[in-house]
Amino acid sequence: MKCNEVQRVLPEMLEGGQNGEFLAHVEACPACGELVSDLKTISVAAAGLAESAEPAPRVWVNIAAQLRSEGLIREPESQPAGPVLVPDRRRWSAWWLAPVAAALVVAGSYVINHRPLPQVANQPPANQPPALTVPVSKEAPDASVQAKNQQPATNRKPPSTAASSGDEQAFSAPTETVSLDDQQFLDQVSGRSATMKATYESHLRSVNSYIRDAEAYLKRNPADEDARRHLMEAYEQKAMLYQMALDHVQ
């Protein structure tokens, strides 16, 4: 067999074909022998590339969010932290579904540390009365609100008036806090700018207090549809905040 004939049958031989003349020529001819050896080396090395790379964590985050939005993920009954939210189908458009809101909160935490469903609001200590807090000062809007919202929440004054003069309920001072998951999330955002972190932090405190108030209200009125709606709206706000921050971080 000559070299050019070897070339012609080479593809078949490399696929496992048997030809005595071919083998004899390859052993005797340095050039053809080298060619066959090189092609086998390439083929073997290529097989080792099969699982060499790993996708970024955001891929799973996106998949999880999409699974939720398509309804392929259904929450198990043992989910902690919060009542079962029953969305009013008549109201919710495809754009904001309650599962997406909760999922974005989960997704935000997952980006940081891959933990399962985080506590979205700190539970009040057992010995505190279940009174609603008024966590955000109802002061002048517009520029002053914007300026205030740039500052960390600890600089805010506590509410100056109760909701009504006849209201006997006691209001505790703002106790909104940022949970550990939220803090880690903010640390990620701060990689972008300190101002951005301060903005997100102050708004995170606001939405956390909204969630806490809504949870307290729902706890006292578990059959109240409005209570559920308030909690859902609060989660939606937090989910929006996470989503806006994630858009930045990515």
Partner 1 sequence: MVEEGLFMESMLRTVIVGLVVASCLAVAAADTRKEYRFPVGPRANVSVDTEYGSITVKPGNPGQVVVVAVLKSDKAEVDSSQKGNRIAIESRPLQGADQQTARVDFELTVPPDAAVNLRSSSGPLSAEGLHGDLTFEGATAPVDVRHVSGGHVHVKTMSGTVTLTDIHGGHIEITSISGEVHLTSVTGPLVQVNSGSGKISYDGDFGSGGDYLFTTHTGDIDALVPAATSADFSAHSVLGKVHDDLPLKPREHGRMSWAAGSSFVGTVGKAASKVVLRSLSGRIRLKQR
Partner 2 sequence: MTDPKQPNLTEPEAIERAKQGDESAFEVLYHLHKRRVYSLCLRMVSNPTQAEDLTQEAFMQLFRKVGTFRGESAFSTWLHRMTVNVVLMHLRKKGLPLVSLDETIESDEETQRKDLGGDDLRLTGSLDRLQLQRAIDRLPPGYKTVFVLHDVEGFEHNEIANLVGCSIGNSKSQLHKARLKLRDYLKSMRAEKAKNG
User: What 3 state SS string does the chain have?
Assistant: CCHHHHHHHHHHHHCCCCCHHHHHHHHHCHHHHHHHHHHHHHHHHHHCCCCCCCCCCHHHHHHHHHHHHCCCCCCCCCCCCCCCCCCCCCCCCCCCCHHHHHHHHHHHHHHHHCCCCCCCCCCCCCCCCCCCCCCCCCCCCCHHHHHHHHCCHHHCCCCCCCCCCCCCCCCCCCCCCCCHHHHHHHHHHHCCCHHHHHHHHHHHHHHHHHHHHHHHHHHHCCCCHHHHHHHHHHHHHHHHHHHHHHHHHC
37 binds, among partner 2, partner 1, none (CB under 5 to 8 A by kind): partner 2
Among 16, 18, 20, 76, binds partner 2 (CB under 8 A): 76
Q: Does 62 bind partner 2 (CB under 8 A)?
A: yes
Considering only residues 81 through 140, tell me which ones interact with partner 1, judged by CB under 8 A.
90-91, 93, 95-96, 132, 134-136, 138
Q: Does 145 bind partner 1 (CB under 8 A)?
A: yes
| Separation between Cα atoms, residue 177 and residue 134, nearest integer Å | 14
- Is the Cβ of residue 26 or residue 208 nearer to partner 1 in the bound state? 208
Q: Does 59 bind partner 2 (CB under 8 A)?
A: yes
Binding mask 28-47 for partner 2 (x = CB under 8 A): ---x--xx-xxx-xxx-xxx
96 binds, among partner 1, partner 2, none (CB under 5 to 8 A by kind): partner 1
Q: Does 146 bind partner 1 (CB under 8 A)?
A: yes
Count, residues near partner 1 per rule CB under 8 A: 46
User: Which listed range, 67-75, 145-153, 157-165, 169-177, lies at the site for partner 2 (CB under 8 A)?
Assistant: 67-75
Residue ranges in contact with partner 1 by CB under 8 A: 90-91, 93, 95-96, 132, 134-136, 138, 141-142, 145-146, 149, 162-164, 167, 169, 195-196, 199-200, 203, 206-207, 209-210, 213-214, 217, 220-221, 224, 226, 229-230, 233-234, 236-237, 240-241, 244, 247
